[in-house]
A and B are shown apart, each in its own frame.
Chain A
Amino acid sequence: MSAVTETAPVTAAGNPVGRSIRDSLIVAKRNLIRMSRIPEMVIFGLIQPIMFVVLFTYVFGGSMKIGTSTSALDYKNFLMAGIFAQTVTFATASSGAGIADDMHKGLVDRFRSLPMARGAVLTGRTLADLVQTALTLLVLAVVALLVGWRVGSDGDTNAAKVLAAFGLLLLLGYAFTWIGALIGLTVRTPEAATSGGLIWLFPVTFLSNAFVDTSNMTPWLRHVAEWNPFSATVQATRVLFANPGQSTSQAWPMQHPVWASLIYSVLIIAVFRTLAVRKYRSAA
């Protein structure tokens, strides 16, 4: 990055890829500065998943059946992969709201009149949201450890696998912010982007293996849950953490959750990034 900056001439653009990365990082920096000046938004973003951890653990914990076990500890260890995955998807709403706000205030007009890389405004935003998501995950993991969650509670794991799990979670979160970006560009007001960015996340995250064992679902629902892209990441995380409640279903994403999670996330990025950048270019 610094090399590109140093050699970039004052007016003409360098090579398109270098320019795109550079411009995206400039916009990302802008969004991170914004976040640091509105700390209450970051804090509210943290409180919600922490509440989920505490509520699910203590309210549902005693009455859930994971496989054959009804132990509250097993449910706690089962639950965390689901909560982590749900948390990363919630960045969708803030991405969308931020972009809608920029449209609303005329900042997007300013950016679109500049000789900058076309996708950079959106990429910069999604990268900044990724940083926030990573921060949220870190705090959440600490809270989870405090309430008794442990990796390797159902088999062996190691540091590399745990890190890989967090990597998949972040990739999923990043993929979802592109959906949020498209929503933000489409609805154009921050309020609509916040609610529009959230409502669809509830069915996506609950019609899954995140909070309950899918083997207790009716067959058609179980099918949906097992092929839900979100479930693939949850399953992959559970496998890598060696936590209980891993699905034994024959569905391909449940059998190959790491690959499924990677493929789904990359596919979501490819599709929604293309749509969002196209929408941005023609935004009037």
Chain B
Amino acid sequence: MPGAIHAEGLVKTFGDVRALDGVDLDVPEGTVLGLLGPNGAGKTTTVRCLTTLLRPDSGRAVVAGVDVLKHPDAVRRSIGLSGQFAAVDEYLTGRENLQMVGQLYQMRAKAARARATELLEQFNLADAADRPAKTYSGGMRRRLDLAAALVVSPPVMFMDEPTTGLDPRNRQQLWEVIKQLVSGGTTLLLTTQYLEEADHLAHDIAVVDHGRVIAQGTSDQLKARTGGERVEVVVHEREHITTAAEVLGGFGKGETTVEEHTRKLTVPVTGGAKLLAEVIRELDTRGIEIDDIGLRRPTLDDVFLSLTGHVAESADDEANGKEAVK
């Protein structure tokens, strides 16, 4: 039984660029899939294909049980889309924007008006409801955009980089809203460049690079692929590095790596906090003063690096670098 969002072999080319190179996805009903990847990886193109905005060159997609290519209009009735750029009319008030969207979802005028009021309350926009949206802050606009996507409480939601460009406080607020939403049973596909965001919101994460899904699984599964936990130590004195390496070597399950200039030593371990305590005791016994010590689990940054050979942000820098060379 395919999930609420299901895609098989989506391919889309723009001229010479193969934006999607066979994307396969499956999002079970009521879960959140985080589509994680750098700029230009194909995240937005995937969302555009699944939301009927773009017709893929090949492949098939089913959203909310409906074939996207065969019955796009039926799909549109069951989805909400919140874009990368807050797509609201800046000259209309928040209320007018939501009412218009409701009516275009084929709600009656009265029902659309009532729903708009409800959403403005829910999204903390009631005070600004009758002001043109151009007077809103970035965070308010983003909330209005999200509210517009939720007018008919669609069973399937798509959010394309919902928090890009928001400050940390607004991002945190939006995360809370999204969490509430999915606790109500909505299926959500969310794209993000922020590893932290995917980790925080998504049940499952699909890592995309160069138009392909290169890995999929829970955050823990992906992290496990990168290797387990490790102990990181920063010693105070440079001359203690060798001794510290000896100590860590005794506890480690693999090779100890040393960064001379930051006086940082890292070693893969098993045994968690208990082991960490032993390491600290041993270092202390040997009289090694430490600046920092910790048990680190791999981050999604590590995952990305080990999967693609480059860190998440660097795809962007690479592109910029090429531009600069020309």
Give the interface of A toward B (CB within 8 A). 5-6, 8-14, 19, 23, 26-27, 29-30, 33-34, 37-38, 105-107, 109-116, 120, 282, 284
| A113 contact from B79, B100, B103, B132, Cβ within 8 A | B79
B108 at the interface (CB under 8 A from A): yes
**Secondary structure dominating the interface of A:** helix
Report yes or no: A23 in contact with B104, Cβ–Cβ below 8 A: yes
Q: Which of B33-41, B88-96, B272-280 contacts A (4 or more CB under 8 A)?
A: B88-96
Q: Nearest B residue to A25 by beta-carbon distance?
A: B103
Q: Nearest B residue to A38 by beta-carbon distance?
A: B91
Task: Give the residues in chain A near B111, CB-CB below 8 Å.
Answer: 10
Q: Nearest B residue to A34 by beta-carbon distance?
A: B91
Q: Nearest B residue to A30 by beta-carbon distance?
A: B100
Besides A33-B92, A110-B83, A116-B105, 13 more A-B contacts (Cβ < 8 Å) are A5-B109, A6-B108, A9-B106, A11-B77, A26-B100, A27-B104, A34-B92, A106-B83, A106-B84, A110-B148, A112-B52, A112-B53, A115-B106
A13 to B106, CA, bound (A): 6
Given A12-B106, A284-B54, A114:B101 Cβ within 8 A: yes
| B152 contact from A8, A11, A30, A110, Cβ within 8 A | A11
Give the interface of B toward A (CB within 8 A). 48, 51-55, 73-74, 76-77, 79, 81, 83-92, 96, 100-101, 103-109, 111, 132, 148, 152
Report yes or no: B132 in contact with A37, Cβ–Cβ below 8 A: yes
A27 to B104, CA, bound (A): 9
Q: Nearest A residue to B151 by beta-carbon distance?
A: A114
Task: Give the residues in chain B near A12, CB-CB below 8 Å.
Answer: 77, 106
Report yes or no: A114 in contact with B105, Cβ–Cβ below 8 A: yes
Task: Give the residues in chain A near B53, CB-CB below 8 Å.
Answer: 109, 112-113, 284
- The number of A-B residue pairs with CB atoms under 8 Å apart is 88
Q: How far is the CB of A128 from chain B (nearest CB, A)?
A: 12
Report yes or no: A19 in contact with B106, Cβ–Cβ below 8 A: yes
Task: Give the residues in chain B near A282, CB-CB below 8 Å.
Answer: 55
Report yes or no: A106 in contact with B77, Cβ–Cβ below 8 A: no
Report yes or no: B73 in contact with A110, Cβ–Cβ below 8 A: no
Q: How far is the CB of A111 from chain B (nearest CB, A)?
A: 7
Report yes or no: A34 in contact with B89, Cβ–Cβ below 8 A: yes
Q: Nearest B residue to A282 by beta-carbon distance?
A: B55
Q: Nearest A residue to B148 by beta-carbon distance?
A: A110
Report yes or no: B85 in contact with A106, Cβ–Cβ below 8 A: yes
A178 to B103, CA, bound (A): 24
Task: Give the residues in chain A near B73, CB-CB below 8 Å.
Answer: 115
A-B residue pairs in contact (CB < 8 Å), sample of 13: A6-B108, A9-B106, A10-B107, A14-B106, A23-B104, A30-B89, A30-B100, A33-B92, A106-B83, A106-B84, A106-B85, A110-B83, A115-B104
Report yes or no: B89 in contact with A114, Cβ–Cβ below 8 A: no
Q: How far is the CB of B242 from chain A (nearest CB, A)?
A: 58
Q: Nearest B residue to A26 by beta-carbon distance?
A: B103
A23 to B109, CA, bound (A): 12
